[in-house]
């Protein structure tokens, strides 16, 4: 066919160049933060660091890791991401499995109750008042319980579960398994692609969420790293950062260089797992959204 033998034309070259520019514009701001975080803070104040560190230094990172408040915040983030994501995936999948079984009495009502929540919500203030009345303000659980379930994710799970051949469940039933253990031992293991997708989406939400820490938490020892960074970034509180820097390393470290190193630490885990999970989220995204 002619199409296959056609040489790379002007259009192709222009297209490739535009795509390369887009890639550069996407990567460069991230790269800029990275190289400046590895540069001596006082030297970086002179500016002009565009491609690689001028005076390589690990002191910014040493200052970050030596800061108890920051490390505590990092720990809170890890804890809320791991616990919050596991509970969200397990609980949402469990409810999804129950309402995906066609013999369940009242499933249409259950689905209607859920669908309504996709279109209507109480809004910020009633939500805040509820959290307050439940006694969740200033507790770690405020990150977990309100995010434990999502009807939107339930739909994605349910779509996937419907494709599972009934024979698998039947075989387990003959062996005497009850519905809950069928869900845990049969359904979950064959649903890993969708479990991974929802886990990724919710994990990213938990990791990146800073607003819960702003609105529901006053106790600084309970704030996650994103909230910690938010206060640095939005309040441009240079005093706050200066006081956060331990005295041993202040010679070359500046509030700006600390900020950049903290940003890298707060992002690295996401960038690290991203390539491994990419194949899952593209697939899972299709399950969820191409059903219209």
Partner 1 sequence: MDLKIRKQKQPHTETPAKSRGSDFIRRLKQQKLLQLMALSGMVWLLIFHYIPMYGIIISFKEFNIVRSIAQAPWVGLEHFRAFFEDDSLPYVIKNTLGMSLLKLIIGFPLPILFALFLNELRSIRFKKAVQTISYLPHFLSWVILGGILTTWLADVGIINKLLLAIGAINEPISYLAEPGYFWAIVISSDIWKELGWSAIIYLAAITSVSPELYEAATIDGAGRFQKMFYITLPMIKGTITILFILAVSGILNSNFDQIFVLKNQLNEISSNVIDTYVYQVGISQSRYSYATAVGLVKSVIAFMLLLGANSITKRMNNTSLF
Residue 101 tokens read as 């079984």
**Is the Cβ–Cβ distance between 207 and 268 less than 8 Å?**
no
Least distance CB 230 / partner 1 (angstroms): 5
**Contacts of partner 1 in 219-278 (CB under 8 A):** 226, 229-230, 232-234, 236, 256, 259-260, 263, 266-267, 270-271, 274-275, 278
Nearer CB in complex with partner 1: 143/207: 207
**Contacts of partner 1 in 186-205 (CB under 8 A):** 204
Nearer CB in complex with partner 1: 42/127: 127
Least distance CB 120 / partner 1 (angstroms): 6
**Contacts of partner 1 in 121-180 (CB under 8 A):** 121-130, 134, 145-146, 148-149, 151, 154-155, 159, 162, 178-180
**Contacts of partner 1 in 6-45 (CB under 8 A):** 8, 11-12, 15-16, 18-19, 22-23, 25-27, 29-30, 32-33
Least distance CB 6 / partner 1 (angstroms): 9
Least distance CB 152 / partner 1 (angstroms): 8
């Amino acid at each position: 066919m002619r199409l296959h033998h056609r040489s790379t034309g002007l259009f192709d070259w222009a297209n490739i160049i535009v795509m390369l520019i887009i890639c550069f514009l996407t990567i460069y701001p991230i790269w800029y933060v990275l190289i400046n975080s590895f540069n001596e803070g006082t030297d970086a104040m002179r500016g002009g660091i565009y491609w690689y560190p001028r005076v390589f230094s690990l002191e910014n990172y040493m200052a970050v890791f030596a800061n108890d408040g920051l490390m505590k915040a990092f720990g809170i983030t890890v804890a809320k991401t791991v616990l919050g994501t596991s509970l969200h995936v397990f609980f949402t999948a469990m409810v999804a499995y129950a309402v995906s079984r066609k013999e369940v009495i009242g499933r249409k009502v259950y689905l209607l109750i859920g669908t309504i929540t996709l279109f209507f919500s109480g809004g910020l203030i009633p939500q805040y008042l509820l959290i307050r009345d439940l006694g969740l303000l200033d507790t770690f659980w405020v990150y977990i319980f309100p995010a434990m379930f999502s009807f939107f994710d339930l739909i994605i799970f349910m779509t996937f579960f419907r494709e599972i051949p009934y024979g698998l469940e039947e075989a387990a039933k003959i062996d005497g398994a009850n519905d809950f253990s069928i869900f845990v031992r049969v359904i979950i293991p064959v649903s890993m692609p969708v479990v991974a997708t929802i886990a990724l989406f919710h994990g990213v939400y938990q990791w990146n969420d800073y607003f819960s820490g702003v609105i529901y938490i006053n106790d600084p020892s309970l704030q996650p790293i994103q909230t910690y960074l938010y206060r640095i970034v939005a309040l441009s509180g240079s005093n706050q950062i200066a006081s956060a820097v331990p005295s041993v390393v202040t010679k070359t470290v500046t509030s700006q260089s600390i900020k950049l190193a903290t940003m890298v630490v707060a992002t690295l885990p996401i960038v690290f797992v991203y390539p491994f999970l990419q194949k899952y989220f593209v697939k899972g995204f299709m399950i969820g959204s191409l059903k219209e």
